[in-house]
Structure 1
Amino acid sequence: MDADTYTNPVLDADWSDPDVVCVGDDFYLTASSFGRSPGLPLLHSRDLVNWTLIGHALERLSPGEEFAAPRHDCGVWAPSLRYHDERFWIFWGDPDRGVFQVNAPDVRGPWSSPLLLKAGKGLIDACPLWDEETGEAYLVHAWARSRSGVKNRLTGHRMRADGTGLLDEGTVIVDGDRIPGWFTLEGPKLYRHDGWFWILAPAGGVETGWQGAFRSRGFFGPYEERIVLEQKDTGVNGPHQGGWVRTPSGEDWFLHFQQRGPYGRVVHLQPVRWEHGWPVIGDDGAPVTVHRRPALPPQPPAAPATDDAFPGGRYGVQWQWTADPADGWATRHSGDGLRLVCVRSGGPHDLRTLPHVLTQRLPGSPCAAEVELRLDSGEAGARAGLAVLGDAYSWIGLQRGTDGSVHLVHRFAEAAGGGERDAGHARPAPGGRARLRVEIGPGARCRFSADTGDGFRPSGPVFAATAWRWVGALLGLFALAPDGPGHAGPATFTGFTVTPA
């Protein structure tokens, strides 16, 4: 690759269901966050290739207790990001509650509290459109069969111009069952272009499907369709679901995801040209791997943050809890290092069920993640560590015994269920300290090791990371203690780094 080209994926981690908007010389992107909190990540770029994470639009998933425990396949599905009336808007469907929106005068906030526009089960992938020609406003959404018994269709509504409500009960504007060979039509993005209403929407499933385009002279149809991006003879399976954006110079580009197993849904950038009134995405409808960069001012290399020194006990924007957090899980202080309270947890200690696990996305390329840990809690059974989380998980860390001593432990749990088991032999950790490492190789095969004062030593066999439903594997930090009275004390993490292999 030279300075004039880029290589896909441009976001090599699980930024699922991306949508993008151009405001002036800046591009902004949001993505699904499902059951993790905070939700609705916000990314910024000046060239569509180099992206930084600047925050989140959704501080909590719910003001109530709906997300007090992990619900990995729930929450925020496939948001749409728009700029209208000098405000940023994000609409999304929560499959169990309905269609929501938040808005803000500045992308960095403050963002409004979530507003429920349409309550119901199975309402997903919502996208608004303000028609600047007529002043009318519309909304389209898809359906999740798991909640509603309905799928493969898109429903359209008239919407209040201020985005605060819908004006009708909704009409099916595209029925995928009536299109030969189409199934699992979802993820619509709604646009107005060249006198047409356009819906860009994928079908065929995230691992094997294609990207479709629909156009109509009227919002409620009838729509004609074409497949505008598919795998063909490339290695990019199921090119799927994303957003179209036009640059200030008039170039058109499309950002979409590719499902990559434990790495989740990585993001690709495709050129778009128009031919006979239809968009042609990629290389004549096939995904590109290397391509000329957008005609935009050169930018320094950038990517969403992974490393964290935890200054003052604060964690960076790349971290999300596995559920809405409670007060006191992380404590601020005057020095560096993340102090996680060893939260008292009853029953079997299954990390997949605990809300107080702080996570970030698993990088899509081979790398090594390291962090130093000090177990300050004197509670017998208190433990803390570094985990790779998915349907199966494994972690390495420190645990205090009944005699007060601290040992390095390495444990895992299989995807099929059941409790944790030892993955490596325990060994003493003098001073209650250890440097923890997981090396993530091709295929997300993970090798754990630790330094307890005598250099890094490997622990246990290779662990193959697995995805969760809709979600890629995650790197996690946690601290917990057995049930009991009083405060269980903290564990301190310092110097979290992710180094490319």
Structure 2
Amino acid sequence: MKNQPIILLAFLWTVFVSNQVLARQNTNGNPLFTKVTYQGNDRVYEENPLESDEFYNPILQGCYPDPAITRKGDDYYMVCSSFAMFPGVPIFHSNDLVNWTQIGHVLDRTSQLDVHDTGISEGVYAPDIRYNPYNDTFYMITTAFAGGLGNFVVKTKDPKKGWSEPYKLNFQGIDPAIFFDDDGKAYVVHNDAPAQGEELYTGHRVIKVWEYDLEKDQVIAGTDKVIVNGGVDLAKKPIWIEAPHIYRKNNKYYLMCAEGGTGGWHSEVIFVSDDPKGPYKPAPSNPILSQRHLSQDRQNKVDWAGHADLTLGPDGKYYGVFLGIRPNEKNRVNTGRETFILPVDWSGEFPVFENGLVPMEPKLKMPAGMENKTGQEGFFPNGNFTFTEDFTSEKLDYRWIGLRGPREAFIAKTKDGLQITPFDSNIKEVKPTSTLFHRQQHKNFSFTTTMEYQPQSEKDLAGLTCVQSEAFNYVFGITKVGKKNFLLLERTEAEGRGRNREVKSEILASTEIDLENPVSLRVSANGDDFEFSYSTNGTDYQHLGGTVSGDILSTNVAGGFTGNMIGLYATKANDALPVSE
């Protein structure tokens, strides 16, 4: 009888623990993600340690393409393309061009951006950001291939406090940029098709300029003019002249554009004029930035360099931000198009990217007097780093993004972690998905999450997904068949192109799994070799499906413009079932 109090206490404690477990097992069947760890470990950073006056290039790793940059005093603001991701157009702030903080997204409301039925590589392309000192206002202008918006502009007095509703602009084409002249006048330049019947070859485009009414926030009808036809030399049939920006220096107007398409022939070219509306004359030394003529087997290869923008740095020297890629050993582009920076020599008539025509190095000298604080004090990390998330902070980190709709539509933060309420759509559909994404930022990485989940039927699935698009992806998730729970790995890829494209899915492996305790799921990559593994005790991991290729997660295999997006995923429209025993 002496042990009765102890036995009673043990019984009560068991009941308490059991109730806590039941409470955490989400009786509604929705998955609860309690922890995420992303770890990057690329050899280039191990082999090239930083000196005290150096920083790494790219400055934004992973799918942050098409950068544009502006300056007000000591503050720099930079934006990138976001396509069908939501919120749209990530925006970063810096005081030194080295240390960057993401301050949010320009398009963070559905009233500004409607991409709910948009392919992952459509949506918002090539934003431009400019500060107008004459009315102390920032402008972001871009194209949305979604929601019927087309070309539009939003504006704000303070990029840290949100942006206006869109002002739809009355012109066709893509890649608009805005320019504010010293006399207070404004202009818009953009890529467009040649006049009807004047297209000379596939990829033939023109650059147009319009006068812009700052009071009405609209281009002025009848002021449009073609200022570049085809590119630097029309006789050579240049393709995809695009991403134009106008700058004024020494009473001259400089028009800088991308040329050659956003792949292996990508470059940056420059023109000059005495008037913002032209005529513009190409520089004799074009291109001023490109990696296209270099050996394909060069070490630490950076390729596809172009789509650039210029700014005056804190040291009085010019700098240019631009997109580039770092392909893996099989020349695949799983990290997508990233944001790089180089100093620019503008001591002569035309600007030239320093070392922009030779193989790029993985690190640069910082502007004089700066200190590298990347990954510290809230600054965006680069190089090799580890990012951990337990979803306990008051605000969700800005690097977590949704697809085709707000994250808030399917996530709920609880005291135990992040709960996802599944949508009736799966990752293969062109619909909003209940998926919270993090970009792949290294060639060699691991992404691990711990999940508590009780699927109710075979239509329920939750876990991880690696997505290049709705037609090219992996799903690594848990579902239920009968009374048994299964973990499966599915590969989806498209065959053919256009309307004749056929999307096929294959279950590579599956296994029955015990869900009494939380399950840890992991995807890891060593270049093109991907592995998916799991643990039911948080320590011992077992592979499922062996080593698989990351080919379908590569831009130059799957097409499109994004890199690999790694998602915390749940659906009530699952169509992936385990293989028969």
- The aligned counterpart of 1:276 is 348
- The aligned counterpart of 1:476 is 567
Q: Which 5+ residue runs of structure 1 have no aligned equivalent?
A: 484-501
CA distance in 2, matches of 1:473, 1:47: 29
Q: Secondary structure of 2:334's partner?
A: helix
* 1:239 CA displacement: 1.5
1:283-304 CA distance string (max 9 Å, x none) = 2744641432122431412364
Tell me whether 1:318 sits opposite 2:404 in the alignment: no
* 1:52 CA displacement: 2.7
* 1:457 CA displacement: 0.5
Q: Secondary structure of 1:108's partner?
A: helix
1:215 paired residue among 265, 272, 275 = 272
Q: Is the 8 A contact 1:206 1:259 kept in 2?
A: no
* 1:224 CA displacement: 1.2
Q: TM-score, normalised by structure 1?
A: 0.87
C-alpha RMSD of matched pairs (Å)? 2.7
Relative to structure 1, the CA distance from residue 189 to residue 308 in structure 2 (aligned partners, 3 Å threshold; closer, same or farther) is farther
CA distance in 1, matches of 2:482, 2:279: 71
Greater CA deviation, 283-292 or 107-116?
Answer: 283-292
- The aligned counterpart of 1:368 is 446
1:323-352 CA distance string (max 9 Å, x none) = 02386411243x14111112223xxx4435
1:86-165 matches, within 5 Å, as 86-95=136-145, 97-120=149-172, 123-132=173-182, 134-143=183-192, 151-162=204-215, 164-165=217-218
Q: What is the identity, as a one-letter code, of the residue corresponding to 1:295?
A: A
Tell me whether 1:441 sits opposite 2:526 in the alignment: yes
Q: Is the 8 A contact 1:124 1:144 kept in 2?
A: no
Higher relative contact order (CA 8 A, sep 6+): 2
* 1:86 CA displacement: 2.2
Which protein is bigger by CA-based radius of gyration? 2
* 1:308 CA displacement: 2.4
Q: Which 5+ residue runs of structure 2 have no aligned equivalent?
A: 1-49, 327-332, 382-386, 496-501, 575-581
* 1:419 CA displacement: 4.3
Q: Is the 8 A contact 1:411 1:424 kept in 2?
A: yes
* 1:313 CA displacement: 8.7
Tell me whether 1:230 sits opposite 2:310 in the alignment: no
Q: Secondary structure of 1:353's partner?
A: coil
CA distance in 2, matches of 1:70, 1:406: 33
**Number of equivalenced pairs:** 472
Q: Secondary structure of 2:494's partner?
A: coil
- The aligned counterpart of 2:477 is 397
Tell me whether 1:426 sits opposite 2:511 in the alignment: yes
CA distance in 2, matches of 1:144, 1:13: 31
- The aligned counterpart of 1:46 is 95
Q: What is the identity, as a one-letter code, of the residue corresponding to 2:370?
A: P
CA distance in 2, matches of 1:285, 1:380: 54
* 1:19 CA displacement: 0.7
Tell me whether 1:293 sits opposite 2:293 in the alignment: no
CA distance in 1, matches of 2:510, 2:58: 39
Q: Secondary structure of 1:155's partner?
A: strand
- The aligned counterpart of 1:355 is 432
CA distance in 1, matches of 2:229, 2:63: 30
Q: Secondary structure of 2:561's partner?
A: coil
CA distance in 2, matches of 1:62, 1:236: 38
1:187 paired residue among 243, 254, 260 = 243
Relative to structure 1, the CA distance from residue 267 to residue 110 in structure 2 (aligned partners, 3 Å threshold; closer, same or farther) is closer
Q: Secondary structure of 1:263's partner?
A: coil
Runs of 4+ in 1 over 4 A off after TM superposition: 61-64, 147-151
* 1:422 CA displacement: 1.6
Q: Is the 8 A contact 2:312 2:318 kept in 1?
A: yes
Q: Secondary structure of 2:261's partner?
A: coil
Tell me whether 1:71 sits opposite 2:119 in the alignment: yes
CA distance in 1, matches of 2:431, 2:488: 19
CA distance in 1, matches of 2:117, 2:170: 25
- The aligned counterpart of 1:22 is 71
CA distance in 2, matches of 1:338, 1:310: 6
Tell me whether 1:266 sits opposite 2:338 in the alignment: yes
CA distance in 2, matches of 1:422, 1:36: 27
* 1:83 CA displacement: 1.3
Q: Secondary structure of 1:399's partner?
A: strand
Q: Secondary structure of 1:301's partner?
A: coil
Q: Is the 8 A contact 1:35 1:74 kept in 2?
A: yes
